[in-house]
Amino acid sequence: MLALQDPALFKTQGLIGGQWQTARDQQTFAVFNPATAAHLADVASLGADETMAAITAAAAALPAWRALPAQARGERLQVWSRLLQQHAADLAQIMTAEQGKPIAEALGEIRYAASFLDWFAEEGKRTYGEVIPSPAADRRLLTLKQPIGVCAAITPWNFPAAMITRKVAPALAAGCTIIVKPAEQTPLTALALAELAQRAGLPPGVLNVITGEAAVIGATLTASPLVRKLSFTGSTEIGRLLMQQSAPTIKKLSLELGGNAPFIVFDDADVAAAVQGAIQSKYRNAGQTCVCANRLFVQAGIYDQFAEAFAAQASRLRVGPGTDPQTQVGPLIDAAALEKVEQHVSQALDQGAQLMTGGHRLATEAGYFYAPTVLRDATPDMQCAREETFGPVAPLIRFHSEEEVIAWANDSEYGLASYLYSQSLARVFRVAEALEYGMVGVNTGLISNEVAPFGGIKQSGLGREGSHHGIDEYLELKYLCLGL
């Protein structure tokens, strides 16, 4: 059991129309701690009926919520943000227990989650329309931005708080109401956030949280014509499925899907800075972020120097339970994640990669720990360079020319984050423009914040989250033509 200062944050029921609800058939599903494999909670397994009830509640709450001035909606979001910050220690404890990340990273994520509430509380006030110079003397043309209506959000386990507020904050600020389906591995953080939203005074039905069977809930949300918009963060495979399921009702979609981020270090880079950036980009959240460096391309002239320094730092990272303040790398989310990492490493070694550090589970722990791993002499055709490993494994690939590395980096169906290190301004612009990615980190391994547009191209998704663009995903543009 967790020792929370405020035990009422530990919720195991769904939230529908302002009421906490168990499943009608009393079904639950178990949540486990990935650091110990211990059972944490049994959470309501809600199905199609409860999802329909949440859609009805969100639709009923919509007229009054969208009629409020943006200022009033923003004030609720700001109160919610302050509650997140006041309860950050408890929220981080819940997050680390179900997700595994080190407690410092969990606290950082709560701050990041709150930043979306504050940002969109303000952006809601800036959803300007425009007056368009008319082509005819007897016409005046204007545009209005209006909330799209009832929205749905399906979120992943790797950022159990921030992926929710990044969708809910712009939706609510725009005047929409929403139903959230959190990942089954991490419902407790989502429910704790919902409890604080209740305390912040969100009217019943404005925010609903449905925990349970993903396929059933997803099918019900996508089939409903009342749901006008779906925002999803998760795998490309499920994104494709949800896009298909949304086709009959022509829903507006935001999809933030998988990545295969290249991390490119040129001969003219500051090698020490590149090593540090690569460590941050690769091993944060044990390599389980969609913007984590997945393949590291290092130019021949500095390859050995980079590889030695990088492997030395990776081998010094402290792996352990997220509750230990010394821990830098926590467990993977579950046994399947661990098996995928093992498979990628063994396949790379079979094909000629060399192990510099790591390459094994941590036998001393009951949970799903894998040692930070560095593979040198990897090649672009290895599985670990073609698929998202989502674990603490860094394949180092040697390249010779700029043209070669751009071609390798772009040879992917994904296009989310990319990184490059160089001290040449001309090269930075040349390569950043040539990379087919939605985001490019230049001389940095950390790019996410609430003020910048986050999102991918190609099969990494549709739409942008965060920034002043993020709220447009929840607005419709209406054109008014006024005859005089």
One-letter identity of residue 336? A
The least CB distance from residue 31 to ligand ADP, in Å, is: 13
CB neighbourhood size of 276 (10 A)? 16
223 binds ligand ADP (CB under 6 A): no
Q: Does residue 184 belong to the site contacting ligand ADP (CB under 6 A)?
A: yes
Nearer to ligand ADP, 234 or 445 (CB): 234
Range 241-270, binding ligand ADP (CB under 6 A): 241-242
Smallest distance, ligand ADP to C-beta of residue 456, A: 14
Shortest Cβ 100–ligand ADP spacing (Å): 14
Q: Which of 214, 273, 452, 457 binds ligand ADP (CB under 6 A)?
A: 214
34 in contact with ligand ADP (CB under 6 A) = no
Restricted to residues 129-168, the positions that interact with ligand ADP (CB under 6 A) are: 154-156
Query: Edge-to-edge strand order for the sheet containing 177-181?
Result: 19-21, 14-16, 207-209, 177-181, 150-154, 227-233, 252-256, 461-462
CB of 71 vs ligand ADP, minimal distance in Å = 33
Q: Locate 157 and state its tokens.
A: 């386990």
Q: Which of 124, 234, 438, 441 binds ligand ADP (CB under 6 A)?
A: 234
Output the CA–CA distances (angstroms, integers) from residue 148 to 110, 156, 467, in the order listed: 28, 23, 19
We find the least distance from the C-beta atom of residue 368 to ligand ADP, in angstroms, to be 14
> Could you please report the per-residue DSSP string of 177-199?
EEEEE--TT-HHHHHHHHHHHHH
User: Which listed range, 49-57, 81-89, 176-184, 372-380, lies at the site for ligand ADP (CB under 6 A)?
Assistant: 176-184
In eight-state DSSP terms, residue 398 is E
Residues known to be catalytic: 256
Applying CB under 6 A, does 461 fall inside the site for ligand ADP?
no
Of 215, 272, 407, 477, the residue at the interface with ligand ADP (CB under 6 A) is: 215
Q: Which helix (H) or strand (E) holds 31?
A: strand 28-32
Q: Which C-beta is closer to ligand ADP: that of 13 or that of 220? A: 220
Which residue number, 214 or 447, has a Cβ lying nearer to ligand ADP? Answer: 214
Closer of 142 and 214 to ligand ADP (Cβ): 214
Q: What is the dihedral of CA 203, 205, 207, 212, to 10 degrees?
A: 150
Phi and psi, residue 123, nearest 5°: -60, -30
Query: Shortest approach of ligand ADP to residue 140 CB, angstroms?
Result: 45
Q: Which stretch in 28-36, 235-243, 425-433, 459-467 sits in contact with ligand ADP by CB under 6 A?
A: 235-243
Nearest residue to 183 (alpha-carbon basis) of 247, 95, 116: 95
Using the rule CB under 6 A, which residue among 12, 56, 146, 235 binds ligand ADP?
Answer: 235
Host H or E run for residue 141 = strand 139-147
Q: Exactly one of 124, 170, 175, 218 binds ligand ADP (CB under 6 A); which one?
A: 218
Per DSSP bridges, beta strands 14-16 and 227-233 are unpaired
Closest CA to 87 of 15, 8, 11: 8
88 binds ligand ADP (CB under 6 A): no
Region label for 205, one of left (φ > 0), alpha (ψ between -120 and 50) or beta (otherwise): left
449-456: long-range contacts, CB 8 A cutoff, minimum separation 24: 449/112, 449/115, 450/112, 450/115, 450/116, 450/118, 450/119, 450/166, 451/119, 454/166, 454/256, 455/254, 455/256, 455/416, 456/256, 456/257, 456/259, 456/414, 456/415, 456/416, 456/417
Q: Which one, 70 or 113, has the nearer CB to ligand ADP? A: 113
CA distance 342 to 349: 11
- Closest approach of Cβ 241 to ligand ADP, in Å? 6
Distance of closest approach, residue 161 Cβ to ligand ADP, in angstroms: 14
Pick the binder of ligand ADP from 77, 161, 168, 183 (CB under 6 A). Answer: 183
| Residues 322-361 close enough to bind ligand ADP by CB under 6 A | none
238 binds ligand ADP, rule: CB under 6 A: yes
Nearer to ligand ADP, 184 or 411 (CB): 184
Q: Are 327 and 367 in contact (CB under 8 A)?
A: no
Instruction: Please give the residues from 262 up to 321 whose contact with ligand ADP meets the rule CB under 6 A.
Output: none
Rounded-to-integer distance, Cα 476 and Cα 124, Å? 14
Residues in contact with ligand ADP, total (CB under 6 A)?
A: 14
Q: Which of 106, 108, 292, 81 is nearest to 168 (CA)?
A: 81
Q: Stretches 76-84, 237-245, 275-283, 410-418: which one binds ligand ADP (CB under 6 A)?
A: 237-245
**What residues line the site for ligand ADP (CB under 6 A)?**
154-156, 181, 183-184, 214-215, 218, 234-235, 238, 241-242
